[in-house]
Chains A and B, each alone.
Chain A
Amino acid sequence: MALVSLRLIKDGRKNINIDTLFLFLKMESTIIDIKDLHFKYADGTQALRGINLEIKKGEFLGIVGPTGAGKTTLLRCIMGLIPHSIPGELKGDVITCGMNTKEYPPAYIATKVGMVFEQPDLQLIGITVEDEFAMGPENHGIPPHEIDYRIKWALDVVRLAKYRYQFPGYLSGGQKQRAAIGSMLTILPEVLLLDEVTSQLDPIGKNEVFSTIAELKKRLNLTIVMVEHQYEMLAEFADRIILMNDGKIIREGAPNMVLTDTDLLIELGLEPPEIADAYRKISSILHTSTSYGIPITLEQGITAFTALQVSPKWRPPIDLPAPKIKPRPVGNVIIYVENLWFSYAKDSEPVLKGINLAIREGEFVGIVGQNGSGKTTLVKHFNGLLKPTSGKVIVFGRDTKKATVAELSKKVGYCFQNPDHQLFEETVRKELSFAPLKLGKPRDIVEHDVKRALQQVGLPLSYLDKDPFELNLGEKKLLTLAIILVINPDVIIVDEPTTGLDWKSISRFMDVLINLYNNGKTIIIISHDMRVIARYTTRAIAMHEGSIILDLPTRQFFTKTNVLKEAFLEPPFITKLAQSLKGFPENILCVDEFVKCVVGD
């Protein structure tokens, strides 16, 4: 394609629209052909076991499946990164755009195929956005005047023209991923591979990226292969879904066929789309037919439930707790924040602007807000990692300005987002006992505390001698929680407990937190996942641009849709569905409540 556009430019038709070139090239032919593909990583993990897959030109293929199913490995094989850059044992054939990946290294395949990764920061390697966009074509030897033309066009497609000369590190998460997509467009690819590109983003970032992908599909008709956990999004755009498990494709078909098999998804440890789940449960109780298809997206849900002509038979009382928690009576104020202002440097814009807040013993608080709204900055004040620029933070009666982090940590434990920032020892035992031993606690007491902490997070004692780096991400997160629990604090703060985890691991982690809560801890979590907030917390707080804009019991929190919109937040899908149906209660928090609402007790 590069050659075609080049020729057109040489002919003097400089104003030819690149969009039309993509349409020219749309044909109903196979562009990716995978035959009996097996792959084993060098460490012995058998990632793929006999994949057969044909992808047509212009097709939008969604890949779903639990962690470790081989989704990312499959994309790497299509790109040729396997076997060229990532060692292992490959059997079978992958033909990408007519090139057998065994013979062509990724640098050549990259002339036809673009790939965007999960981590927003690490794939932007240029010093400016423009650099980033130029890099691909430069490496392929495209002449500068043509590169210039392509950059302008790609910046327009991903709507980043304003940021052309910006340093990539300063962009927001959503902008970074859009820049990464745009930098692939400048090679005029035929195929775009997207590997969980939204999983690290906040809700607004996710929406930005989805709308960009919608634009790609509508405008360019690119062949897109996307690994994604947001099923509602796939249901809207994908032509076909493959469901993978254990290195095999176990289900294949239209989105509304594959993604609505709720029993199968649950069996695999995946969370079924809420609206489909509700529809299935209701049809089986009311004995209505599902043969007209099961809804997934909000629009489909509204249409389907309107057609069912249902009316609400039950309304959640205003003081009903969130579905997964039995709140205990709240006690004294343990964290008190008064007119807190904070900025990182003297002359920089304040990150927190006059926060007033009181957290009581016995609460389970969820803090939400887009990246940069000040959530993490706020909670870092609760154990003294940050001290107020002005205002007061009182923790268990002590002014944090007059206490050290170590002293406060005995009362307030803080579990960081990325476990890899903490783990460094050879065994789980050493990892857990490091801090208390250094604090001078006797060895036998430490050993006892370590075992207790490990049990509290539900990891078996046999893990004591394991290498922390052998654990999977979900277990590593539990381990970092155990590190905090060894000190036995009264308050536990967890920053983003769910990022990067699949539903099974999320449920496991949240159940551990609920268990700790039931045993007398006060919990504060920061999360982008509204479903987690809706199901597990007693109180939810929304932050926006350094201020608290909403602070209510969880049941009432999600009814304030207008305020949430201001902070670019949205209630879970099932709540939105109830809010969109005439006469339905606004304060539904989970699928079972919705089902109860439709069918009665």
Chain B
Amino acid sequence: MALKHFYIPGKSFMHKLNPLVKLVWLLATFILVVYWQTLTPMLIIFMITLILAILSRIPMKMYIILFGLSAFMVTLSSVIWALYRSEGPVVLTVPLLNWEFTIGGVMFGLAAGLRLATMFLAGFLFLMTTPSTEWINALVKLKIPYSVVFAFSLGIRFFPTLLSEMMSIMQAQMARGFEIEKVPFYKRAWYSVPIIFPFLAGAIRMIRDITLALEVKGFGASTNRTYYKSIKLNAKDYTEIAIILFLMVLGLLHGR
């Protein structure tokens, strides 16, 4: 159940950043990697993200998982893209399969892989160093409509509940005495009905109950909803945001 909660408490540089600054950084990173196509800038921004990850001092186990998955993405992507794109001279041929890898293809694949890995790394870094309440507040501060933000927060709140619901259903159906392991693979989809149906029925009941709970908490009662915890920005935060935006614009102008 490692997925239950992403946030890992800590006192690193990344943890101490204002959540709104972190959100701006995350968006800037995403915008840049999506805009860029070539390898060099992609490599630079990946290195920056990597350094930030190391600075955030999360547990060793998480590093191994994160870096391992990043490396896997990069490798997989470069192989796959390189197979489909041929540009420039051939650098490697696999004789039996008749595969040819070109320089251009490999470069493009590496860039695509790094793009994915950067987004993955930056996203997880953000979630691991920011408590969910704080990034929700950051979204509110960005003037995202409260109903949208609240939907996010409901998702976080009930994800583990839904997961454990799913587990109970699977066990309850297993206890009936039929084994999904022995069912031929092509028939499996049909056999998932006993799990999906009770799960959906349960989810609908859940939504109904949650709706009543929302009503009782006075949702929509006042047009002037207040926010108990709002994010305040000081001079340092503004400076940091300005630097990030400046670097982003610079990147957009010169990186392509």
A108 with B221: CB separation less than 8 A? yes
Residues of chain B within 8 A of A423, CB atoms compared: 198
Determine whether the beta carbon of B221 is less than 8 Å from that of A169: no
Contact B216 A406 (CB under 8 A): no
Specify which chain A residues have a CB less than 8 angstroms from the CB of B178 in the assembled complex. Answer: 406, 434-435, 438-439
Within 8 Å by CB of B225, from A84, A111, A114, A139, lies: A139
B212 within 8 A of A: yes
Contact call A122/B210, Cβ cutoff below 8 A: yes
* Distance, CA A142 to CA B5, complexed state (A): 30
- Would you give the 0/1 interface string for A259-283, flagging 1 where the beta carbon is closer than 8 Å to chain B? 0000000000000000000000000
B-side interface residues toward A, CB under 8 Å?
1, 5, 132-133, 136, 153-154, 156-157, 160-161, 165, 168-169, 171-179, 181-182, 191, 193-194, 197-198, 201-202, 205-206, 209-230
Please indicate which of the listed interface residues A111, A383, A422 has the most CB atoms of chain B within 10 Å of its own CB. Answer: A422
Contact A134 B229 (CB under 8 A): yes
Q: B210, A439: Cβ atoms under 8 Å? A: no
Residues in B whose Cβ lies below 8 Å from that of A434: 176, 178, 194
Q: Does A19 contact B (CB under 8 A)?
A: no
Mark A85-112 against chain B: 1 for CB-CB distance below 8 A, else 0.
1000000000000000000001110110
Which residues in A have some Cβ–Cβ distance to B below 8 Å?
79, 81, 84-85, 106-108, 110-111, 114-115, 117, 119, 121-128, 131, 134-144, 147-148, 151, 167-169, 183-184, 187, 344-345, 380, 383, 385, 404-406, 409-410, 413-414, 416, 418, 420-424, 434-436, 438-439, 469, 483-484, 487
A140 touches B216 (CB 8 A): no
B217–A127 contact, CB under 8 A? no
Chain A residues within an 8 Å CB radius of B194? 422, 424, 434
Interchain CB contact under 8 A, A143 and B226: yes
List, in ascending order, chain B residues with CB within 8 A of A147's CB.
226, 228
What is the CB-to-nearest-CB distance from B5 to chain A, in angstroms, rounded to a whole number? 7
Given contact pairs A125-B157, A423-B198, A424-B193, A141 touches B222 in the complex (Cβ within 8 A): yes
Dominant secondary structure of chain B at its interface with chain A = helix
B209 to A139, Cβ gap below 8 A? no
For this complex, 11 residue pairs linking A to B, each with C-beta atoms less than 8 Å apart, are A134-B229, A137-B226, A139-B220, A141-B225, A141-B226, A148-B228, A404-B181, A409-B176, A416-B175, A422-B172, A435-B176
Q: Which one of A107, A115, A127 contacts B219 once the chains associate, using CB atoms below 8 Å?
A: A107
Beyond A110-B216, A127-B156, A413-B175, is A421–B230 a contact (Cβ under 8 Å)? Answer: no
Q: Which of B191, B201, B226 makes the CB contact (< 8 A) with A144? A: B226
Separation of A436 and B177 alpha carbons in the complex (Å): 8
Q: Which residues of A contact B213 (CB under 8 A)?
A: 117, 122-125
Kindly list the 7 A-B residue pairs having the minimum CB-CB distance in the complex, ordered from nearest.
A409-B177, A424-B197, A107-B221, A141-B222, A110-B218, A134-B228, A123-B213
What residues of B have a CB within 8 angstroms of the CB of A125 in the complex?
154, 157, 210, 213-214, 217
A406 near B218: Cβ-Cβ < 8 Å: no
Kindly provide the distance from the CB of A81 to the nearest chain B CB, expressed in whole angstroms.
Answer: 6
**Total A-B pairs, Cβ < 8 A:** 176
Nearest-neighbour CB distance to chain B for A371, whole angstroms, equals: 14
Which residue in A107, A119, A169, A483 is a CB contact (below 8 Å) of B160?
A169
Extra pairs beyond A125-B213, A385-B171, A424-B198 (15, CB < 8 Å): A107-B215, A110-B217, A117-B209, A127-B157, A138-B227, A138-B228, A139-B217, A140-B221, A141-B221, A141-B222, A144-B230, A168-B157, A409-B174, A420-B202, A423-B198
Q: Distance (Å) between the CB of B69 and the closest chain A CB?
A: 20
Q: Are B222 and A128 touching (Cβ within 8 A)? A: no
Shortest beta-carbon distance, B168 to chain A, in Å? 5
Contact B209 A122 (CB under 8 A): yes
Cross-interface CB contact of A483 among B161, B176, B191, cutoff 8 Å:
B176
Query: Contact at A136–B160, with CB atoms within 8 Å?
Result: no
Cβ B179 vs Cβ A127 within 8 A: no
Instruction: Please measure, in the bound complex, the distance between the C-alpha atom of A409 and the C-alpha atom of B228, giving whole angstroms.
Output: 53
- The smallest beta-carbon distance between B236 and chain A, in angstroms, is 23
Name the B residues within 8 Å of A138 (CB-CB).
225-228
Which residues of A are found within 8 Å of B230, using beta-carbon distances? Answer: 144
Whole-angstrom distance from the CB of A187 to the nearest CB of chain B? 7
Q: Which residues of B contact A436 (CB under 8 A)?
A: 177
Contact of B174 among A119, A144, A405 (CB under 8 A): A405
In the bound assembly, the distance between CA atoms of A143 and B224 in angstroms comes to 10
Q: Are B212 and A420 within 8 A (Cβ)?
A: no
Contact partner of A404 (CB less than 8 A), chosen from B169, B179, B229, is B179
Determine the chain A residues whose CB is within 8 A of the CB of B160 once the complex forms.
Answer: 169
Is B217 in contact with A420, judged by CB distance below 8 angstroms?
no
| Pairwise interchain contact A383-B157, C-beta atoms closer than 8 A | no
- Is there an interface contact between A111 and B218, defined as CB atoms closer than 8 Å? yes
Contacts of A416 in B (CB 8 A): 168, 171-172, 175
Contact for B136 among A127, A136, A143, A151, CB less than 8 A? A127
Q: Which residues of chain A have C-beta atoms less than 8 A from B179's C-beta? A: 404-406
